[in-house]
Structure 1
Amino acid sequence: MPDASPARRSPSTTTRRLCAAVHLDSGLAERVVAELTDDPRRAVAPSVGLDLEPVLCHALRARLLGTVRDAFLTVAVVVALILAPRTTAAVLLLGAVAGLCRSKAVRGAPPAGRALLAAALVFGLVTAVGAVLTVAGSTAAAPGGELDRVVAAVGAAPGGRVWAALAVLAGCAVAGHLAHLWWTATTLTAGTHPAPVRASTARRVAVVAAAQRGNVAFSRGDPFVGAGPPVRAWSVAVALRAIDSGGYRPRSPATLDPVLLRRHVGQALQGLGDGTGHHGVPGLTVTSYLAADGVRGGGDPLLEDGVPLPLASREAVDAVVRAPQEGLRHYDRVVIVPRARAVTTAEGRPVVPPDDGDGHVSVFVHTSIEASVVYVELSAHVLPPVRTACFVPAPVVHLELLTQLTAAPWRLTRTAAHRLRTLARRPDPGGWHDHSARLGIRDLVGDPTAALPALEATKYVKIVERVVVEAVADFLERYDLDATSFRAEVPTTR
């Protein structure tokens, strides 16, 4: 396991924005907690450009604050139902309709769909009122019967219990909302991230903090989990043919060590980040990366006490390079986190200040030599910047108080049921288990509509791709091997 408590540094822009995002979006906080803590044997996707520990701690605190608020509002709803059940039911129904109209599905629907939904709601309300009056009219045998009593009840002034129920609902909704905002602001402005309440959760947070700095990704379905959507991929396999140069050939194609090819390509990629000014790519790092199948059985050397080991040594990586297999592949991962340099004129006057970006590019390069064939695979992935809604709070809408009040009992029930399901799990440490990391937390908050970062990412992908091609060709030529066919097989960039 990597070191769980490295030297503390100031949090990155991405980390700060995600810590705020889990408080602004309760659904995001639930997904973060579920992915990282529900299954203590699940692997953690390697993270780049952010620290998962404070993000997870803030997500746990955001979920706790939301649960406390929901419990408070649920008690208020129960008290109001005791005081005035029909009035409280009408308020809850109104909140449900408001929540439905403000849901993402409705807001994302075309105007015709929203108009149709509004017409259906109005028709349903009119139909329900008409049905009640019809039933009441049919039971009225004479003047002064049931219909007159219904009309009198509708037109009568609300009683004291009704006003008390409305006061409880309104007062508790406002108080719960303000208290939640105050505790959230206190949590975000604190000097350190909040500590988990339960000891078992604190142990899992420590595991996540260590595992995120590993170089092994356990996943059954996506070997590049957490790297973002793919933007370009290709692979080339070319037979090694010696060039008859008439001189001494240092080694035959059959005896070439694939580790030498990998190191040669890695050194060329490292050179991209060297230098200052326009001589180097800012924010570039090259690390080893192993993609492992997440389904593992008891006694597997990649597990320790049933938990995946996320860090592979250099010797282990070289062994995998020399003997690749279906469930474990090696890559060199090139990560570029664009950190824009300060722009100044020739006289030194500032034009644009430096910018710490929150998107990044990952290019995975796999090289191997088997059966006198060189194989090169490249897969480029881009994580767009964090969407603005994750760190810029939306204006407060008064209807939110009503929808929070209506949804509180449902959310509290759902949270309790999820907790019971989690406690009921009985993992078998000796059997087969899917340890796959299902997603990267950074994937949940990307903004694919950001145009300028996408253009910048395309540039860096092409730069890395060109360096890889030239490095492999140079390696072949050093051993008097034909590089022409390899260059011809590489797909042309578009």
Structure 2
Amino acid sequence: MAARRLPVLAQYRDDAVTRLLCAGAHLDEGFAREVDVELTEDRLRATGPSLGIDLVALARHARASVRRIDRRDRRLARLCAVGVWAAVPAGFYGLVTDLGALALAGAAALVLTYATAWALVRGAENEARTAALGVEHGAGRPGDLAPAIGAEMEARLLEQERANVVPYAAGAERTTPFVGSGSKIKEMVWQPIDVSRPADDPAGGGKLAVKPFDAVDLHGFVAREMEHIAGLKGLRARNRLYVKGDHVSYVGPDLLPDRLRRPRAQIPKQLVQAGVVQPGAGMRTYLSLERTGEGGRVIVSMHLRARLQHPSLTWEVAAYGIPPLQARFYRVHQLPLDGWERWWDLFRVATAATASALLGAPGRLVRRASARGERARALDRTRREIGRRHLRFDYGAVDSLRERVADWKQLGFSERTDSQDFLQRLQQGVLIATERFLKDHDVDTSSYDQAQQVINTHTYTFQGDVHSSNIGAHGTVNHAGQSQT
């Protein structure tokens, strides 16, 4: 059948969320500092996986924003010391002692100080907006629009994006080990499937011999075939070893080469495969299937673990979702691009902010230095306890940047329905892949057929944090005492 020719509609950029976050780093000082500390500062805890984000690009833009603000505040602090703390007492003294020239000089110095401070505030705001608009509307890659932050640091962030191990905080064991995946939609263990019975020989004459296999083979088959089976282009499938944070040292030097440094994000695949066949102490391997919606606005993930214990196979399944970004990250869309509107908006913002920016600069610099010093001292104390007392430290991540800046209130109708479609396709794809795998290994699938009828009753409601206590019979989800499928 010939393909129908139709016009191409405008599409979201694949890196739309990364661009919004990079722009947000230039427009939101608090967010920029949060990113700079988490991604680039020395620490012991692991960084949670931020799905769908170019971490190198975000770290570069956050560092550029922080440096610009610090540079502005250092200049403002010097102005405040010379132009305010000196000019105001001099002018006041001139008024009291009837020294008109001194009073006039003090007033002139104060006016000059304010004008210079206004220019600095306006210039910094203009640079921030130019950078934000450039990364949001520019044609180049976001990471190319900001200075590099160091080869070693960027290599670590690239490793983080391809992580095959996730240390999670020990406290998360009571809720979910899948830090970074967002809100829980559903958790379940599917109906057991008998995999011990051989299939009938199609040529007649009895039964076929079951081809031996293990859970690693099944995980690998599902990972390879899921994108094609489920019809989800761009599906990301990866086995990850999830390790309880205070059990990280048990994995060995491949994960924690130095007990006084953060754990690595990549380990040998044999260790990951070992967690598929036999879980360790506080460590299990899951096959993570992740699909992002248009422009990366929403992310759905399904974490699977094959429980293959002769004679039966079950799938442990957990579905999670991350909604769009918070409203504050769309501010870049409301900025005037050029002309009189941009000039006036910059004038208005600078005029409103100059006085507080000028007078508060010394205090801000002191507070930042104090916070950095406190973080460094706390880190040194912890390292001493680990080194001297052999403290079993919790290296696990608590959450991730991506889920921290998400907001379910921003979830739209199309994103909700797309996400439900993704999850249903993933469930059906796992079932089809499992059936094909069993048939390829000459296993009788009659038990699978019976289990599939029960499994297919499970549905997914992509509306936020739906806990397992709200899940009723046959996969229904209960809201405020009512049930829906």
Query: What are the superposed Cα offsets for residues 147-175 of structure 1, whole Å, 9 maximum, x if unpaired?
Result: xxxxx9xxxxxx64774475256324412
1:258, 1:322 within 8 Å by CA — same for their partners in 2?
yes
In structure 2, C-alpha distance between the alignment counterparts of 1:85 and 1:231, rounded to whole Å:
63
Superposition pairs of residues 94-109 of structure 1, within 5 angstroms: none
Report what 1:289 is aligned to.
Answer: 240
Superposition pairs of residues 186-335 of structure 1, within 5 angstroms: 189=134, 192-195=144-147, 203-220=152-169, 221=172, 223-236=177-190, 238=192, 240=194, 247-248=206-207, 250-251=209-210, 257-272=214-229, 280-295=231-246, 296-297=248-249, 300-305=253-258, 306-335=261-290
- Pair 1:169–1:362, CA change in 2 (3 A): farther
Report what 1:457 is aligned to.
Answer: 419
Which one of 458, 461, 465 corresponds to residue 492 of structure 1?
458
1:283, 1:338 within 8 Å by CA — same for their partners in 2?
no
Report what 2:341 is aligned to.
Answer: none
Superposition pairs of residues 102-141 of structure 1, within 5 angstroms: none
Report what 2:293 is aligned to.
Answer: 338
**What amino acid sits opposite 2:74 in the alignment?**
A
1:236, 1:376 within 8 Å by CA — same for their partners in 2?
yes
Report what 1:84 is aligned to.
Answer: 88
Query: What are the superposed Cα offsets for residues 334-358 of structure 1, whole Å, 9 maximum, x if unpaired?
Result: 222235xxxxxxxxxxxxxxxx444
- Pair 1:86–1:160, CA change in 2 (3 A): closer
SS at match of 1:319: helix
**TM-score, length basis structure 1:** 0.68
1:290, 1:330 within 8 Å by CA — same for their partners in 2?
yes
In structure 2, C-alpha distance between the alignment counterparts of 1:406 and 1:202, rounded to whole Å:
38
- Number of equivalent positions: 390
Of 306-315 and 22-31, more deviation after overlay is shown by 306-315
1:268, 1:468 within 8 Å by CA — same for their partners in 2?
no
Give the number of the structure whose alpha-carbon radius of gyration is greater: 1
Output the aligned Cα RMSD. Answer: 3.7
Task: Please state how far the C-alpha of 1:59 moved relative to its aligned partner.
Answer: 0.8
Report what 2:366 is aligned to.
Answer: 413
Task: Please state how far the C-alpha of 1:185 moved relative to its aligned partner.
Answer: 5.5
Superposition pairs of residues 368-387 of structure 1, within 5 angstroms: 368-370=307-309, 372-387=311-326
Superposition pairs of residues 398-437 of structure 1, within 5 angstroms: 398-424=351-377, 425-426=379-380, 427=383, 431=390, 432-437=392-397
Task: Please state how far the C-alpha of 1:434 moved relative to its aligned partner.
Answer: 2.9
**TM-score, length basis structure 2:** 0.69
In structure 1, C-alpha distance between the alignment counterparts of 2:208 and 2:193, rounded to whole Å:
17
1:83, 1:165 within 8 Å by CA — same for their partners in 2?
yes
**What amino acid sits opposite 2:426 in the alignment?**
V
In structure 1, C-alpha distance between the alignment counterparts of 2:146 and 2:88, rounded to whole Å:
40
Q: Could you tell me which runs of 5 or more consecutive residues in structure 2 were left unpaired when the two chains were aligned.
A: 1-12, 97-102, 201-205, 336-344, 460-484
- Pair 1:225–1:402, CA change in 2 (3 A): farther
Which one of 104, 112, 123 corresponds to residue 179 of structure 1?
123
Superposition pairs of residues 42-81 of structure 1, within 5 angstroms: 42-79=45-82, 80-81=84-85
Query: What are the superposed Cα offsets for residues 117-149 of structure 1, whole Å, 9 maximum, x if unpaired?
Result: xxxxxxxxxxxxxxxxxxxxxxxxxxxxxxxxx
In structure 2, C-alpha distance between the alignment counterparts of 1:87 and 1:408, rounded to whole Å:
22
- Pair 1:78–1:251, CA change in 2 (3 A): same
SS at match of 1:45: coil
Task: Please state how far the C-alpha of 1:42 moved relative to its aligned partner.
Answer: 3.5
* Identity percentage of aligned residues: 25
- Pair 1:402–1:234, CA change in 2 (3 A): farther
1:286, 1:334 within 8 Å by CA — same for their partners in 2?
yes
In structure 1, C-alpha distance between the alignment counterparts of 2:168 and 2:395, rounded to whole Å:
7
- Pair 1:480–1:55, CA change in 2 (3 A): same
In structure 1, C-alpha distance between the alignment counterparts of 2:415 and 2:75, rounded to whole Å:
44
**What amino acid sits opposite 2:41 in the alignment?**
D
- Pair 1:196–1:416, CA change in 2 (3 A): farther
In structure 1, C-alpha distance between the alignment counterparts of 2:321 and 2:37, rounded to whole Å:
24
SS at match of 1:223: coil
Task: Please state how far the C-alpha of 1:292 moved relative to its aligned partner.
Answer: 1.8
**What amino acid sits opposite 1:18 in the alignment?**
L
1:215, 1:311 within 8 Å by CA — same for their partners in 2?
yes
In structure 2, C-alpha distance between the alignment counterparts of 1:242 and 1:272, rounded to whole Å:
25
SS at match of 1:433: coil
Task: Please state how far the C-alpha of 1:268 moved relative to its aligned partner.
Answer: 4.2
